[in-house]
Amino acid sequence: MKYPEEIIQRVRDAADIVALVGDYVPLKKAGSSYKGLCPFHSEKTPSFVVSPSRNSFHCFGCGKGGNAITFLMEMEKIPFPEALQLLAEKTGIPLPKPQETERDLEAERERDRMFALQEFAGKFFYDQLTTPGGRKAVEYLKARKITGETAKKFQIGYAPDTWDALKKAALKAKFDEKELLKGGLLVQNDEKGRNYDKFRDRVIFPVRNNFGKIIAFGGRALGEGPGPKYLNSPETPLFKKGECLYLLDQARDAIRREGHVLVVEGYFDAVTLHQNDIQHVVATLGTALTKEHARQLKRYTQEVVLLYDADQAGQDAAVRGFEPLLSEALRVRVLTLPDAKDPDEYLMKHSREELIFLLKGAPEFFRWRAAGLREKAKGRPVEELIRSVQSLASFLLRVPDEASVQAACAAIEGELGLDNFDMRAIVNAERKSGSRVGPAERQAPVSKVAPLLPGREVEGEFLALLVADRAEYVKWAVQSVSPDLFIEEDLKVLFSNLIQGSMDAATARMAPALEPFFMQIEAQPDKFQPKKTLITQLYATLEMRHRKRQMILVKEELGAAEKAGEISKAAELAGRFVELKNQYHEMNHLKSEPHE
């Protein structure tokens, strides 16, 4: 699918990048640009910069950068055309019909058909509630205190107790069996070679993507039959279980508003909470929390409250869920409900206000965990308890800020109430032994994208400052600065063009290679003043580096010449080396400076 370049340009230029990014990341003004915590990697201090004047963003931690369209692609995990369409809608610029190839059209048609099929199935299941066969599902929902209004809002439905009700209806609506199989709605029976409905005699919950489109279903068995209590759609081109959170599309605004998200385990838990006007709730789809889940939640909040089943399985799941949340640097609290096995049951017995009260007091993860371990170790030797609590130290080492570590240690000590138990000391010991084992493993890799190398940074900042405003600096550079000072090939070419006059400063300012450096300068204007001094310093650094490199090269040549017995060449090189070395040491300050 292709759009004319000038339209893409217009949409990109019309986009308000600060407002767009600000929808996902809290931003603070810094100089003429904005700063925030990077949504693409875990960090505690902001290195993510948005520049309204350049209409772009850049992260100095992980290297991600781009414009409004690429931001949407990354954030929403959507292809270019969809991001462009979304942005065009926001900016009010009408898009012309895209120039599409036959293959684009085919792929798009197929995707549209897949969404249409899920939509069709969702409506089919919902409509079953008004048929005689669906009456038992209605009774079941009533017994679980789900109102008709809620069923309608979430399109909760019923899959009839037959082998082929959906199949028949879908074929009649001109879908074919291949599509039904691919969409996860039919199951292949190898023995008889016949395909039958995947969901039978179940209450059905449609699962939607972030744009509210149905992508999968979850089904709860009505009776206590032989099949599993819960059944989900298999993974399809539209649905990846480990990436999807039930009701996230409905909960986003509430999550932002409340400042945290509640994660529950079951469809009924999530729906019941929403029905009780607690809307910042999502559910995992019968899987443990994944890193991808954590990343998605991080787009809306910094804090997660786990509200899992009160039984051992639920509590174990909360412990497992902590790991991916921690690796995304999210704060975690855990709420264990008294006298109910899950939130759904709790709300049958108690009021919404009671639940909110408990929620406010939900302990931070480490306090909760210490209490759990103490409970478990009741009546057993105290050493056992201490050993189990020690295992928390490795998690504490990964908490990014020291204040939180201190608070967690104090909470653990308070929870255990043991004399002379010093959690802080245990963490410090663990840190030491860990650093002996392998410091490389312990340091969380910031990113796979290569961050700016120190060399590149010097070259780029130098070049950006040269072309930033005064033409005099470029004039000075033409006379005094050699392109040989640059190692980075793209920056070297840029500089050569500049001093040869084949590119002017204004054009150089727009060069994508200089983009991150300009953003750096805009974000910290004070650090880059006065410009003249800075240019001088950077120039000195480049000159020194250049000499040093030459020294290394000459030394290598010298070694080779000596080995080969080329005596006169070796003597010449040795002389050259001494010369360079003297120059290098004499270069305490630079002779040539740009003049105003």
**Residue 90 near residue 20, CB atoms below 8 Å:** yes
Among 3, 34, 40, 268, binds Zn ion (CB under 5 A): 40
CB of 588 to Zn ion, least distance (A): 38
- 67 burial level (CB within 10 Å; 0-12, 13-18, 19+): buried
CB of 37 to Zn ion, least distance (A): 9
Number of residues that bind Zn ion (CB under 5 A): 6
Q: Which is nearer to Zn ion, 288 or 446 (CB)?
A: 446
- Asked if 41 interacts with Zn ion (CB under 5 A), we say yes
* The residue type at 347: L
Q: Which is nearer to Zn ion, 40 or 239 (CB)?
A: 40
Q: Which is nearer to Zn ion, 23 or 100 (CB)?
A: 23
CB of 447 to Zn ion, least distance (A): 6
Q: How many CB atoms lie within 10 A of CB 19?
A: 13
Q: Which is nearer to Zn ion, 35 or 41 (CB)?
A: 41
**Pairing mode, if any, of strands 56-59 and 214-221?**
unpaired
* Secondary structure of residue 261 in the 3-state scheme: strand
Q: Which is nearer to Zn ion, 48 or 246 (CB)?
A: 48
CB of 60 to Zn ion, least distance (A): 8
CB of 444 to Zn ion, least distance (A): 13
Binding mask 342-371 for Zn ion (x = CB under 5 A): ------------------------------
Q: Which is nearer to Zn ion, 41 or 208 (CB)?
A: 41
**Residue 289 near residue 261, CB atoms below 8 Å:** no
CB of 40 to Zn ion, least distance (A): 5
* Secondary structure of residue 565 in the 3-state scheme: coil
Peptide bond between residue 530 and the one before it cis (omega within 30 degrees of 0): yes
CB of 299 to Zn ion, least distance (A): 13
CB of 71 to Zn ion, least distance (A): 12
Applying CB under 5 A, the span of 31-39, 233-241, 346-354, 453-461 interacting with Zn ion comes to 31-39
Q: How does DSSP classify residue 58?
A: E
CB of 399 to Zn ion, least distance (A): 19
First to last CA, the chain: 52
Partners of 166 in the beta sheet? Answer: none
CB of 277 to Zn ion, least distance (A): 36
Residues 54-73 that bind Zn ion (CB under 5 A): 59, 61-62
Applying CB under 5 A, the span of 23-31, 36-44, 244-252, 291-299 interacting with Zn ion comes to 36-44
The kind and range of the H/E element at 34 are strand 33-36
Q: Name, in order, each residue with C-beta under 8 angstroms of 131's C-beta and a sequence gap of 6 or more.
A: 160
Q: Please report how the helices 402-416 and 423-437 are oriented relative to each other, as an axis angle in degrees rounded to 10.
A: 130
Applying CB under 5 A, the span of 16-24, 35-43, 205-213, 224-232 interacting with Zn ion comes to 35-43
**Residue 221 near residue 299, CB atoms below 8 Å:** no
* Secondary structure of residue 57 in the 3-state scheme: strand
Applying CB under 5 A, the span of 32-40, 281-289, 420-428, 568-576 interacting with Zn ion comes to 32-40
Q: Name, in order, each residue with C-beta under 8 angstroms of 371's C-beta and a sequence gap of 6 or more.
A: 363, 415
Spatial separation of the C-alpha atoms in residues 4 and 99, rounded to whole Å: 8
**Residue 451 near residue 63, CB atoms below 8 Å:** yes
Q: Which is nearer to Zn ion, 48 or 368 (CB)?
A: 48
CB of 298 to Zn ion, least distance (A): 12
Applying CB under 5 A, the span of 4-12, 51-59, 102-110, 259-267 interacting with Zn ion comes to 51-59
Q: Which is nearer to Zn ion, 25 or 273 (CB)?
A: 25
Q: Which is nearer to Zn ion, 299 or 532 (CB)?
A: 299
Spatial separation of the C-alpha atoms in residues 146 and 269, rounded to whole Å: 11
Applying CB under 5 A, the span of 41-49, 173-181, 276-284, 322-330 interacting with Zn ion comes to 41-49
**Residue 125 near residue 159, CB atoms below 8 Å:** yes
Cα-based distances in Å from 291 to 72, 100, 121, 263: 20, 36, 30, 14
- Asked if 456 interacts with Zn ion (CB under 5 A), we say no
Among 11, 27, 37, 38, binds Zn ion (CB under 5 A): 38
Q: Which is nearer to Zn ion, 40 or 124 (CB)?
A: 40
- Which residue, 60, 55, 53, 61, is CA-closest to 32? 53
Q: Which is nearer to Zn ion, 61 or 122 (CB)?
A: 61
Residues 552-571 that bind Zn ion (CB under 5 A): none
**Residue 59 near residue 38, CB atoms below 8 Å:** yes
Q: Which is nearer to Zn ion, 236 or 302 (CB)?
A: 302
* Secondary structure of residue 99 in the 3-state scheme: strand
Applying CB under 5 A, the span of 33-41, 178-186, 497-505, 506-514 interacting with Zn ion comes to 33-41
Q: Which is nearer to Zn ion, 428 or 524 (CB)?
A: 524
Question: Which regions of 60-138 does DSSP assign to beta strands (E)?
Answer: 65-66
Applying CB under 5 A, the span of 34-42, 72-80, 210-218, 304-312 interacting with Zn ion comes to 34-42
The kind and range of the H/E element at 326 are helix 312-327
Spatial separation of the C-alpha atoms in residues 191 and 193, rounded to whole Å: 6
Q: Which is nearer to Zn ion, 46 or 324 (CB)?
A: 46
CB of 38 to Zn ion, least distance (A): 3
Q: How does DSSP classify residue 157?
A: E
* Secondary structure of residue 195 in the 3-state scheme: strand
CB of 34 to Zn ion, least distance (A): 15
CB of 73 to Zn ion, least distance (A): 16
- Give contact residues for Zn ion (rule: CB under 5 A): 38, 40-41, 59, 61-62
